[in-house]
């Protein structure tokens, strides 16, 4: 495996651009899964290669329910990424996770519906483990980076992924709290699942913009969310710079680099050639 880092940065709501990237060039990347949300900004920060993709596109034209997560992850894999640091705006389901605080996500509850959530359809059926859905190495470095950038950070959060684009009802919000969820958002699933299928270690920083509507008499207000997103955006950029600066000079292999080992269940003589061709980036290690 490559010993060089190439960090894919997925920018969420309010983070449509990245500062500090040298030799920056927006590059359109074609994928067999359709169009990604936007072109990929390719360049470097110091000696580290970076690839930045705004999750909703520049200017936020793409709805969370219509994101082509397969194309986004495939594009980052084609762009040479070894790891992904994702950043998302989230609502808080806990009093102690106040707006402005950043959370490093550890677990997910997936409540999305109807989204293409796997690369491995009939003809090359594969079951990857999602027991531990994020990379502990990247997550630890992400938490340190938030602190180094001067932000407040909580670790070990459980993220409830809802469909949207509407916000949740009070009954749903209170139920999610009972389930043990800490933050709520609309975009991290199936993104994290697809990153694992692509053997890309993945970490997620949630930028808390508001309290979800579990609080009596309060509702999510878009103006408040947008205002807090803008307030969070500079800290997010600074966090990325701190994260990149603190990376070890050489990238040691991660167990996630081999997530597809022993995961394929379809017999070789039943492999679908058309699907195999589409997997040329995602499963290139297996396909030679």
Q: What is the CATH number of the domain that holds 236?
A: 3.40.50.1580
Main-chain phi, psi angles of 84, to 5 degrees: -125, 130
**pLDDT value at 1 more than 80:** no
DSSP, res 255: G
**pLDDT value at 145 more than 60:** yes
**pLDDT value at 243 more than 60:** yes
256 within some domain: yes
What Å distances lie between residue 268 and 25, 125, 197, CA to CA? Answer: 40, 11, 19
pLDDT of residue 13: 65
Structure tokens, 125: 């059926």
pTM (2 d.p.) = 0.96
193 within some domain: yes
Mean pLDDT score, 12-21: 73
Mean pLDDT score, 162-190: 96
Give Dmax (Cα) for the chain.
60
Report CA torsion sign: 148, 151, 155, 160: negative
1 within some domain: no
pLDDT of residue 239: 95
Q: 91 in helix, strand or coil?
A: strand
Mean pLDDT score, 176-199: 98
Neighbours of 188 (CB within 10 A): 30
Structure tokens, 2: 């490559």
Nearest to 237 by CA among 136, 157, 150, 161: 150
Number of domains the chain is built from: 1
Neighbours of 97 (CB within 10 A): 21
**pLDDT value at 272 more than 60:** yes
Neighbours of 25 (CB within 10 A): 10
Burial environment of residue 15 by CB neighbours within 10 A (0 to 12, 13 to 18, 19 or more)? buried
Determine the angle formed by the axes of helices 69-78 and 188-197, rounding to 10 degrees. 40
173 within some domain: yes
Catalytic positions, written as ranges: 210, 212
88 within some domain: yes
**pLDDT value at 118 more than 90:** yes
What Å distances lie between residue 174 and 44, 63, 93, 270, CA to CA? Answer: 43, 25, 8, 46
234 within some domain: yes
Domain that holds residue 112: 6-287
Mean pLDDT score, 69-77: 98
Q: 110 in helix, strand or coil?
A: strand
Determine the angle formed by the axes of helices 222-245 and 136-148, rounding to 10 degrees. 100
């Amino acid at each position: 495996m490559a010993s060089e880092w190439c960090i894919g940065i997925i920018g969420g709501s309010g983070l449509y651009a990245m500062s500090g990237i040298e030799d920056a060039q927006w590059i359109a990347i074609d994928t067999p899964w359709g169009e990604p949300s936007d072109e990929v900004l390719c360049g470097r920060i110091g000696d580290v290669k970076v690839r930045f993709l705004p999750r909703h596109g520049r200017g936020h034209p793409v709805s969370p329910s219509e994101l082509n997560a397969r194309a986004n992850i495939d594009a980052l894999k084609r762009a040479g990424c070894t790891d992904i640091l994702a950043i998302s705006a989230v609502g808080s389901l806990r009093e102690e996770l106040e707006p402005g605080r950043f959370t490093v996500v550890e677990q997910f509850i997936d409540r999305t519906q109807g989204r293409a959530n796997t690369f491995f359809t009939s003809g090359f059926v594969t079951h990857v483990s999602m027991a531990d859905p994020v990379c502990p190495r990247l997550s630890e470095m992400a938490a340190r980076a938030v602190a180094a950038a001067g932000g407040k950070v909580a670790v070990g959060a459980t993220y409830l992924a809802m469909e949207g684009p509407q916000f949740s009802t009070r009954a749903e919000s209170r139920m999610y709290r009972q389930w043990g969820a800490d933050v709520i958002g609309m975009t991290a699933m199936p993104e994290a699942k697809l990153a694992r299928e692509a053997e890309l270690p993945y970490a997620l920083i949630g930028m808390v913009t508001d309290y979800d509507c579990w609080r009596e008499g309060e509702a999510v207000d878009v103006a408040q969310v947008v205002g807090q997103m803008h307030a969070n955006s500079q800290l997010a950029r600074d966090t990325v710079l701190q994260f990149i600066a603190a990376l070890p000079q050489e990238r040691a292999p991660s167990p996630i680099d081999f997530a597809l080992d022993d995961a394929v269940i379809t017999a070789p003589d039943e492999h679908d050639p058309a699907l195999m061709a589409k997997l040329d980036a995602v499963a290139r290690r297996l396909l030679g």
